[in-house]
């Protein structure tokens, strides 16, 4: 599968979402959350357009994209998604300690894995901070809503930690050089493939559950929280995947954008 | 060809600095912001050169990939200064933003034309139009976004970074398109005026809606 085609698909989806948001605002729907969400989509649109143009212009040179403006666009996207979720959210006296601790450990392990894979210390740490902000916004909104049971919280945490566990096993069993031979431990290939399959299945489950909540009536809060959790999970999965698995996760995160938008629309219309 | 950017800046800046003594009010602020824009352009060039040396990136790669980030951040600094410290509002802030962008573009164009030559009038016009519109547009859009976000009480780190990211990516797309000769360069030169028109239309379309929204985001 060509990444250029996927990028064009994402750009198409983002244009649709952005156009629809502008149309809703023009029609008199007054929601600052919609403005912030539209702004986040504009950041994503320019970021993916940049990547698409780079891919078209430098495809023959096989040049890797260095740190560039599109990364700033990605960070802004996640920060603005966090701001969309928490804008106007009244503070409540709810303990978030356990959830926040678990989230911070999850993000920290991810950052270590990213640094191990690509060695881009600075970018990986900043991306980790940005993702931690998004996840903290999602957790806050979920806790304040009070619509999630203890069992569901445990399942969400388990889904993240299981993804990380597969990757840690894959990293621990990475091939190494002994003498002049490359030794490929038998467990490595299995752990890596199982990890990719797990990530994809878990992403699909997140997307499916979000869609089911979106189609139900009167559960706007759950729908919004789950759709934002879907994009966070798909993004982490994308960063943990490689090759075709990366592209599939990218498509998953694009579908999550649509789910987020329609959940937000449902909330705005309901209010 | 080696150019002495500091000398060029001095040569252009001195008449403008002298004019500050004979102007008052809005005109004086515009000229001052124009001078600041030119100064920021020189600082951005210094920082780009330094990062190019440190990272080992080629001059072209630095111009295409890193310069947009540095230049937009450098334009943001005086804009934030005017916006937050002097609490400028409405037309005052947009005028300052336009002046910063125009100053930045003017100095960049001067240095560029001195290094590559200005024989072709057509090229000079195209270059002036594209770079001028691009720098003015990015900083003006940023100022408008700050004003909207402040009015709707949504001014935060996320919204500021969002604005900078949008301006930076827009700038980076232009730099990327003009980095190779051919059809992409033509597209690059068309890109800023077309997006400026689209943004203007969008602003006209949504302005009445924003005007009806209260400070807390409600209708």
CA B32: distance to chain centroid? Answer: 15
* Residue A57 reports pLDDT greater than 50: yes
Q: What is the mean pLDDT of residues A12-34?
A: 87
DSSP state of A60: G
Whether B218 is covered by a domain: the verdict is no
DSSP state of A146: T
Q: Are B45 and B5 in contact (CB under 8 A)?
A: yes
* Residue A110 reports pLDDT greater than 90: yes
Give kind and range of the element (H or E) at residue A176.
strand A176-178
Question: What number of C-beta contacts closer than 8 Å exist between A and B?
Answer: 117
**Structure-block tokens of residue A71:** 């990364």
Chain B partners of A49 at a C-beta cutoff of 8 Å?
Answer: 169, 173
CB contact under 8 A, B168 and A72: yes
Nearest to A25 among B166, B209, B217 (CB): B209
**Structure-block tokens of residue A232:** 């966070």
The pLDDT > 70 percentage for chain A reads 96
Q: Which range, A31-45, A179-193, A195-209, has the best average confidence (pLDDT)?
A: A195-209
Residue B218's pLDDT is what? Answer: 45
Model confidence pLDDT, tens digit, residues B137-155: 999 989 988 888 888 888 8
* Residue A87 reports pLDDT greater than 80: yes
Which of B165, B178, B215 would best serve as a mutation to test chain A binding (most A beta carbons within 10 A)? B165
Chain B partners of A26 at a C-beta cutoff of 8 Å?
Answer: 205-206, 209
Residue B216's pLDDT is what? Answer: 46
Nearest to B65 among A22, A53, A67 (CB): A67
From B209's Cα to the closest Cα of chain A, the distance in A is 7
Residue B217's pLDDT is what? Answer: 44
DSSP letters, A67-127, are S-HHHHHHHHHHHHHHHHHHTTPPP-----HHHHHHHHHHHHHHHHHHHHHH--HHHHHHH
Helix (H, G, I), strand (E, B) or coil at A147: coil
Residue A8's pLDDT is what? Answer: 92
Q: Are A270 and A220 in contact (CB under 8 A)?
A: yes
Residue A221's pLDDT is what? Answer: 87
Total of domains in chain B? 1
**How many Cβ atoms are within 10 Å of B203's Cβ, its own excluded?**
13
**Structure-block tokens of residue A234:** 């798909």
- How far apart (Å, rounded) are the C-alpha atoms in residues A52 and A8? 7
Its sign, for the CA torsion A65, A70, A75, A81, is negative
From A27's Cα to the closest Cα of chain B, the distance in A is 9
Q: Are A10 and A48 in contact (CB under 8 A)?
A: yes
pTM of the predicted model, to two decimals? 0.89
- How far apart (Å, rounded) are the C-alpha atoms in residues A50 and B97? 25
Model confidence pLDDT, tens digit, residues B69-84: 999 999 999 999 999 8
Q: What is the mean pLDDT of residues B51-68?
A: 84
Model confidence pLDDT, tens digit, residues B149-174: 888 888 888 888 888 988 999 999 99
Q: What is the mean pLDDT of residues B197-218?
A: 70
Chain A partners of B219 at a C-beta cutoff of 8 Å?
Answer: 30
Residue A63's pLDDT is what? Answer: 62
* Residue B219 reports pLDDT greater than 60: no
Model confidence pLDDT, tens digit, residues A204-242: 999 999 999 999 887 888 999 999 999 999 999 999 998
Q: What value of ipTM does the predicted structure carry?
A: 0.86
From B208's Cα to the closest Cα of chain A, the distance in A is 9
Whether B217 is covered by a domain: the verdict is no
Helix (H, G, I), strand (E, B) or coil at A182: strand
The rounded mean pLDDT for chain A is 89
From A261's Cα to the closest Cα of chain B, the distance in A is 18
**How many Cβ atoms are within 10 Å of A267's Cβ, its own excluded?**
16
* Residue A65 reports pLDDT greater than 80: no
Domain housing B197: 5-212
Model confidence pLDDT, tens digit, residues B11-55: 999 999 999 999 988 899 999 999 999 999 999 999 998 988 888
Whether B87 is covered by a domain: the verdict is yes
Question: For residue A47, is it left (φ>0), alpha (ψ between -120 and 50) or beta?
Answer: alpha
């Amino acid at each position: 599968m060509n990444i250029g085609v996927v990028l064009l698909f994402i750009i198409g989806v983002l244009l649709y979402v952005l156009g629809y948001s502008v149309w809703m605002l023009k029609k008199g729907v007054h929601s600052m959350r919609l403005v912030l969400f539209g702004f986040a989509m504009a950041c994503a649109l320019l970021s993916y357009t940049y990547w698409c143009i780079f891919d078209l212009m430098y495809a023959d040179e096989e040049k890797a994209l260095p740190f560039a403006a599109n990364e700033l666009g990605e960070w802004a996207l996640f920060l603005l998604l966090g701001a969309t979720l928490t804008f106007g959210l009244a503070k409540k006296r709810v303990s978030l300690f356990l959830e926040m601790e678990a989230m911070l450990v999850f993000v920290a392990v991810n950052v270590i894995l990213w640094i191990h894979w690509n060695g881009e210390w600075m970018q990986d740490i900043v991306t980790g901070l940005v993702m931690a902000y998004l996840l903290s916004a999602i957790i806050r909104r979920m806790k304040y809503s009070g619509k999630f049971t203890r069992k569901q919280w445990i399942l969400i945490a388990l889904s993240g930690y299981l993804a990380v566990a597969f990757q840690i096993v894959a990293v621990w069993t990475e091939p190494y050089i002994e003498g002049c031979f490359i030794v490929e431990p038998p467990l490595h290939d299995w752990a890596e493939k199982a990890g990719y399959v797990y990530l994809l299945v878990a992403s699909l489950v997140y997307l499916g559950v979000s869609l089911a909540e979106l189609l139900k009536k009167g559960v706007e809060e759950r729908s919004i929280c789950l759709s934002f959790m879907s994009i966070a999970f798909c993004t982490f999965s994308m960063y943990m995947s490689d090759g075709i698995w990366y592209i599939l996760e990218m498509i998953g995160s694009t579908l999550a954008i649509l789910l987020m938008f329609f959940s937000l629309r449902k909330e705005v219309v309901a209010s | 060809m080696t150019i002495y950017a500091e000398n060029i800046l001095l040569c252009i800046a001195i008449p403008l600095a002298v004019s500050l003594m004979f102007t008052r009010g809005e005109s004086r602020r515009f000229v001052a912001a124009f001078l600041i824009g030119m100064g920021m352009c020189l600082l951005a060039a210094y920082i780009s050169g330094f990062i190019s040396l440190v990272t080992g990136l080629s001059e072209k790669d630095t111009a295409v990939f890193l310069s947009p980030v540095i230049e937009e951040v450098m334009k943001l600094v005086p804009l934030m200064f005017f916006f937050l410290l002097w609490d400028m509002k409405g037309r005052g802030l947009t005028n300052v933003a336009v002046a910063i962008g125009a100053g930045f573009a003017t100095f960049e164009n001067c240095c560029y034309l001195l290094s590559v030559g200005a024989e072709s009038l057509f090229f000079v016009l195209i270059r002036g139009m594209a770079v001028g519109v691009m720098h003015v547009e990015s900083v003006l859009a940023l100022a408008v976004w700050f004003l909207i976000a402040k009015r709707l009480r949504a001014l935060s780190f996320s919204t500021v970074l969002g604005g900078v990211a949008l301006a930076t990516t827009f700038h980076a797309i232009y730099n990327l398109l003009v980095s190779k000769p051919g059809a992409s360069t033509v597209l690059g030169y068309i890109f800023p005026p077309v997006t400026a028109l689209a943004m203007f239309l969008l602003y006209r379309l949504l302005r009445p809606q924003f005007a009806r929204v209260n400070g807390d985001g409600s209708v």
